[in-house]
């Protein structure tokens, strides 16, 4: 990856790499964002299942919610754009807890945080880097993994991001959801989300949502809806075709060499040795 490529599409804000699609002016202004008490924030490290959970919430019948584009996507006009929504807003973001607008914390808005196995996340983000013109061009998996382990990728270190949110796992307004558990038992995970949001759904509605938000359905819809720029859930692209690749659990095994797995596991143990989320991830992955 050329340093010029990095400079053209990424910039640093408070020590973290961001896409230039998130302007510095907007990032600086986030603390002045007029938050509403009933706002819901859908948070994750990139490539952890944000689109999937967003589609799930959007498909809840009679919920009277509006899915917005990410809070950090665009320029300063984003804050005015978000004001235009009259329904209850579901706002996606990839911000770590520390960078989240202060108003959200003060108003105790509901926050859903999605965690995914970091090896699968790394592989998914690698392919995103390769396919997405808004991210630097990285030639090889080896080169990308090195950057990922150092936290020198967009939105910084996966470890730091997850740990920043784990500190708030017991907050009443925070729900932590695991991608792998949603894949394994959709109904159970979905009901947690619905209960958290104070929305009632019956079993037939749950089954319909499960079908509508299956990977194959979402991928086919992404082709049809690709021109709808307002339906942008990722702060790194409005091209929905780039978002859906495989949507599987365990694809990392097709990329990691034994040596890379050892290096990754060593760092994981070092960084996450006190983490309950890490222990749970090991059990379910």
Can you tell me the distance from the alpha carbon of 234 to that of 72, in angstroms, rounded to the nearest whole number?
10
- Write out the two tokens for 163: 């740990």
Instruction: Considering the candidates 94, 127, 161, 255, report the single residue annotated as catalytic.
Output: 94
Count of residues in the chain? 285
Q: Give the contacts of 221 (CB within 8 A, at least 6 positions apart).
A: none
Cβ atoms of residues 201 and 60 within 8 Å: yes
Q: Pick the closest to residue 151 from 162, 143, 142, 160 (CA basis).
A: 160
Helix, strand, or coil here: 219?
helix
Determine the Cα angle at 197 with ends 244 and 98, to 5°.
Answer: 70
Task: Respond yes or no: is residue 94 known to be catalytic.
Answer: yes
Pairing of strands 110-115, 16-19: unpaired
Residue with the two structure tokens 């400079």 = 7
What distance in Å separates the CA atoms of residue 111 and residue 170, rounded to the nearest whole number? 12
CA 58 to chain CA centroid, Å, is 16
Residues with active-site annotation: 94
């Amino acid at each position: 990856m050329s340093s010029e490529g990095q400079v053209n599409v990424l910039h640093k804000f408070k020590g973290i790499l961001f896409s230039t699609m998130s302007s510095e002016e907007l990032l600086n202004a986030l603390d002045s964002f007029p938050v509403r008490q009933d706002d819901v924030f859908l948070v994750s490290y990139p490539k952890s299942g944000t689109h999937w959970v967003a589609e799930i919430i959007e498909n809840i019948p009679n919920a009277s919610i509006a899915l917005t584009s990410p809070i950090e996507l665009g320029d300063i006009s984003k804050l005015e754009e978000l004001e235009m929504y009259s329904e209850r807003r579901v706002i996606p973001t990839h911000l770590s807890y520390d960078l989240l607008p202060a108003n959200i914390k003060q108003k105790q808005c509901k926050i859903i945080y999605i965690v995914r196995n970091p090896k699968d996340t790394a592989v998914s983000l690698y392919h995103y880097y390769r396919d997405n013109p808004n991210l630097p061009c990285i030639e090889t998996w080896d080169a990308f993994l090195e950057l990922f382990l150092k936290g020198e990728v967009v939105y910084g270190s996966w470890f730091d991001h997850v740990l920043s949110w784990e500190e708030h796992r017991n907050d009443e307004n925070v729900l932590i959801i695991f991608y792998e558990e949603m894949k394994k038992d959709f109904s159970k995970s979905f009901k947690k989300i619905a209960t958290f949001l104070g929305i009632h759904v019956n079993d037939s509605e749950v089954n319909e949502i499960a079908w509508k938000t299956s990977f194959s359905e979402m991928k086919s819809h992404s082709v049809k809806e690709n021109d709808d720029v307002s339906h942008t859930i990722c702060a790194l692209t409005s091209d929905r075709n780039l978002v859906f690749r495989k949507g599987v659990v365990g694809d990392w095994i097709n990329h990691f060499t034994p040596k890379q797995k050892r290096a990754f596991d060593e760092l994981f143990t070092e960084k996450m040795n006190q983490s309950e989320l890490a222990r749970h991830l090991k059990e379910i992955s």
